[in-house]
Amino acid sequence: MKNLKKIFINLLIIIALFSCLGNVIFAYPTQHPLAWDNYRQGSTQEKDCNRLRRGIGEIKNSSDPDVQKQRIQEIFVEYVYRGRQMPSVEPEFILELCSIISRIPNPEIKLLIFTRILFPLLHMQLIYDKYRANRWTDRETERGDNYTFNKRIWCDLYRVLKSKKGVCRNFANVIKVIFDLIEIPNVLVYTDDHIFNAYLNLQWRVCDLTWEINGEITVLLPQDEWYPLPYLLFPPFGYWQLTGGYLGGYLDYAFKPEESITIISVAPKDYSKPYNTVVSNNPRACLQVNFNSAYNRRKTVVIVNGRPTSKKVFSEDIRSLFS
């Protein structure tokens, strides 16, 4: 009887040790952005590239939104759930896909292709690598490079997609180029120690490639008010407000209340200016999100030409505000 009890106790100890060890082994990678546990190597075979190229071409050539959505879902299931060999996200291939997508007139379909096809391809093939990114920065510092905004984001696109590595700034610049090419209104969001993207689809939605959040159900901040029926019927004429008083928005639950957050929309004429001037050194136009402890809510200040403005921001002219 004593032997059985001893065996039972030892068995429990072994199970507990394996449980703890298993948690360390399997949970540790998920605490890191774009971890190896999700990594899948893409194929450079032309047949694999052609398959996806044809699929997106079929979506472009269709004029029926229901047919387009069905085809997008089929491609999504094929690569994400059934594990078909996906094409490698090489720079030239991604740019070719963006060229096809840009010719689709329906912005809803463009966004679906991005969130269901392009985004999964990217996040499953890219790895967060701070060492590699620091080496890039060190080399630029040694050469005394002072890249323009346009050169910086395109440089990041090529070296990230070639190496399949980078950090949040590099990933955000890759997404910035893609959104620009497929003509989706977008902004860069800077916090104290993180950079990611957001795009406009009635609300500003999060696209954080570093943490694999594609924005389909994740808004930047929740809306303060319930819109009346006319807004639901005619959204372009509704009032857009980037303030939130309730938990649920990405800036509410993912960042500390006191964290400094700046949301920058880069005007086309600023692409030729130095990157640091456009982004870091008092951007000409941006949204500053601050936490108001008195009301326990976020408050947004719109900056235009370096000065706060009280102008209400509407969905239909959010782009012109920063042009």
- Is this prediction's pTM over 0.95? no
- Strands 165-166 and 127-128, by their bridges, are parallel
Q: Is residue 81 a contact partner of residue 120, using CB atoms and an 8 Å limit? A: no
Nearest to 46 by CA among 85, 14, 87, 77: 87
Q: Enumerate the H helices of 213-315 as residue ranges.
A: 229-233, 250-253, 275-279
- 215 Rama sector, left if φ>0, alpha if ψ -120 to 50, beta otherwise: left
pLDDT in tens, the chain (323 residues): 556 666 656 665 665 554 444 433 333 333 456 655 556 677 878 888 999 999 999 999 999 999 999 999 999 998 887 777 889 999 999 999 999 999 999 999 999 999 999 999 998 899 999 888 888 888 888 777 788 999 999 999 999 999 999 999 999 999 999 999 999 888 888 888 889 998 877 677 889 999 888 877 777 765 433 333 333 333 333 333 333 333 456 776 677 766 777 878 787 888 998 888 888 765 666 666 666 565 555 566 666 666 666 555 443 344 454 44
Nearest to 114 by CA among 164, 67, 174: 174
Residue 5 has what pLDDT? 60
CA 91 centroid distance within chain: 17
CA 144 centroid distance within chain: 30
SS3 287: strand
For 150-197, give the DSSP string. Answer: HHHHHHHHHHHHHHTEE-HHHHHHHHHHHHHHTT--EEEEE-SS-EEE
Distance CA 105, CA 127 (A): 33
Half-sphere exposure of 296 (CA within 13 A, CB side): 2
Q: Enumerate the H helices of 182-322 as residue ranges.
A: 229-233, 250-253, 275-279, 318-321
Q: Is residue 167 a contact partner of residue 156, using CB atoms and an 8 Å limit? A: no
Tell me the helix, strand and coil percentages in the chain, rounded to 5. Answer: 50, 15, 30
Q: In which residue are the tokens 């050194």 written?
A: 281
Q: In which residue are the tokens 């993912």 written?
A: 254
Cβ count within 10 A of residue 122: 23
Query: Can you give the residue ranges of every domain in the chain?
Result: 46-125, 184-321
